[in-house]
């Protein structure tokens, strides 16, 4: 039998709703399987742990040819329509409703839950400096702001997953 996965380090680099959730679901899923997990938020992914942004993440409708209405199997939405006012708001509402149906918590509650499972949560120092942020801008679950070097140190023996 193949050796089972013991530890994962998941990088979340995007700040849209559909960019953030996969990493969170994978981190939570890892802990559910008894796998050690670390979450590292970088670039716009940091919005998922930023106090002022984390409750307002939106689905990116511009430049997304996979976008369909009213459901995933509906007709494709012409890409230019994704730029219409209110499109992102509409798509975000739809997705949040479906997410809730699956009993997946909103981002803030999910981050709290994942942290409670013992997953460590870090912000990327280069991005924090670039965006002129500091530790107080983040939700309390962020354990530390670390450099990429520290990230690799903490990921020793882990599989690194970039999302």
Q: Rule CB under 8 A: which residues touch other proteins?
A: 25, 28-29, 31-34, 102-105, 113, 116-118
Query: Nearest approach, Cβ of 122 to other proteins (angstroms)?
Result: 19
Q: Tell me the β-bridge partners of 12.
A: 41
Give whichever of 86 and 118 is closer to other proteins, judged by the CB atom: 118
Task: Please state the closest distance from residue 131 (CB atom) to other proteins, in A.
Answer: 30
Judge contact between 63 and 52, C-beta under 8 A.
no
CB of 47 to other proteins, least distance (A): 22
C-alpha 67/C-alpha 152 separation (Å) is 35
Alpha-carbon 40 to chain mean position: 9
Could you tell me which residues come within 8 angstroms of residue 117 by beta carbon, excluding any fewer than 6 positions away?
Answer: 28, 31, 32, 37
Smaller CB separation from other proteins, 34 or 149? 34
User: Cβ 108 to other proteins, closest distance in Å?
Assistant: 13
Asked if residues 134 and 162 have their Cβ atoms less than 8 Å apart, the reply is no
Q: Among residues 33 and 144, whose Cβ is nearest to other proteins?
A: 33
* CA 104 – CA 96 distance, rounded (Å): 9
Phi, psi angle pair for 88, to nearest 5°: -65, -40
């Amino acid at each position: 039998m193949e050796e089972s996965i013991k530890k994962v380090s998941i990088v979340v680099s995007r700040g849209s709703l559909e960019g953030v959730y996969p990493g969170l679901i994978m981190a939570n899923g890892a802990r559910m399987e008894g796998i050690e997990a670390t979450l590292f938020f970088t670039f716009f992914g940091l919005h998922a742990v930023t106090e002022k942004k984390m409750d307002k993440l939106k689905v990116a409708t511009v430049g997304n040819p996979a976008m369909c209405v009213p459901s995933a199997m509906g007709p494709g939405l012409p890409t230019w329509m994704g730029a219409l006012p209110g499109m992102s708001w509409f798509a975000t509402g739809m997705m949040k409703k479906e997410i809730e149906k699956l009993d997946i918590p909103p981002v803030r509650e999910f981050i709290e839950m994942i942290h409670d499972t013992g997953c460590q949560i870090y912000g990327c120092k280069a991005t924090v400096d670039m965006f002129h942020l500091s530790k107080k801008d983040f939700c309390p679950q962020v354990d530390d702001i670390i450099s990429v070097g520290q990230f690799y140190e903490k990921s020793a023996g882990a599989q690194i997953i970039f999302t």
